[in-house]
Amino acid sequence: MIITKDTFLADVKDHKMEIVCDNQSIRLLKFRNPNTNCFWFEILTWPGSLCITGDCGSFVFRRSPDMFNFFRGDNINLQYWAEKLEADDKTDGHEAYSTEIFRTRILEWAHEYLNNVDDGADENQHAILLKDVEETVLTDIGDKNMDMQRAIDFEHNNTYIFYDFREVDCMDFTPRFIWCCYAIQWAISQYDS
């Protein structure tokens, strides 16, 4: 599932805000559609921290005295915000193994290998290697450990071209984390209005 600003906004289009507590940097805001419990969430802040919890996950961030100032704006910075996490959602966390990233990185390494090898290989031999990579390494991917092991074990012309591949980062942000980051910024904009 891909979370974008538009998909998030569709999820919360009928949400109403309830301000339960608003005392400087100590706040409790609740957001929900009055007709359903889908996509409800709460934002709780205290000096130096912000917690979002609800239907789409729970995360705690720690960074600055007033966390609303930290998150205000129009753009989310997933990488930087993830660095400020103190507690992660128990269901999915903020990162998960991505088969799409794995596939992309494997093909990048294969093309880099082909570009660096001066063995007189022609286009047909390159196509054979790429087909072998597709059939051996990129078939039935989904289990991180098995995928990594298949990559590391892959051999072409007596060369293990993915020998150090376990060091490659194939993680991506979870949909729950992305959704909650959009929710934080949107909630602050609703509060500011």
65-99 pLDDT, tens digit per residue, is: 999 999 998 899 999 999 999 999 999 899 999 99
**CA-closest candidate to residue 8, choices 180, 192, 172:** 180
User: What's the N-to-C CA distance of the chain in angstroms?
Assistant: 30
44: pLDDT strictly greater than 70: yes
**Contact in structure between 10 and 182 (CB atoms under 8 Å):** no
Q: What is the pLDDT of residue 140?
A: 93
pTM of the model: 0.86
Domain boundaries, the chain: 5-94+174-192, 97-172
- Least confident piece of the model among 156-160, 171-175, 180-184: 156-160
**CA-closest candidate to residue 182, choices 46, 57, 26:** 57
**What are the tokens at 23?**
């005392």
